[in-house]
A = this chain, B = another copy of it.
Amino acid sequence: MRFFEDVTIGEEFVSHTAYLVTGEEITSYAGKWDPQPYHVDEEQAKRTMVGRLFAPSILTLAISVRLSHESGYCDISSVAGLGIDELRMTKPVLVDDELKVKATVMSMRESKSRPKLGVMTTRIEVINQNGEIVLSYLLSGLVNRRPQ
């Protein structure tokens, strides 16, 4: 377990394993959470700009959270999330894509109201097998300071 004081601005965390996105997962996740016709039906997907099945952004975001847990990033003692800014869906996520996550610490500050906590802001980038960023965002959250 690492604390606020153990983290350096610019520090990077990369997920060790790639996450394989299957067509079955896209349609089943979308069927439950984002049932756009073009996320659940290959024929409808063919008529879109993308031209084939692609993942709902909410699935890509969920994958990014899961991959963060495999990157060492989640060894930092987290208390709660605060917010997300500048989330950009830059490329469609397609069937058989293999995704990794890179988390880069952008800023660290002590909490003004809670002396035991700090606020950490991290840029999360989801990267496919071609090295393209498919989704990125800034994640801010509360982390524990080292107990005195």
Contacts and interface: CB of A to CB of B under 8 A. Distances in A.
Nearest to A61: B58
Interface stretch (A8-16, A79-87, A100-108, A125-133): A79-87
A62 B59 CA distance: 8
Could you say how many copies of this chain the assembly holds? Answer: 2
A13 to B, nearest CB: 16
A17 interface: no
A86 B85 contact: yes
Which 3 residue pairs of A and B lie closest in terms of their CB atoms, listed nearest first? A84-B87, A33-B62, A83-B88
Interface of A: 32-36, 48-50, 56-58, 61-63, 65-66, 69, 74, 78-89, 92, 137
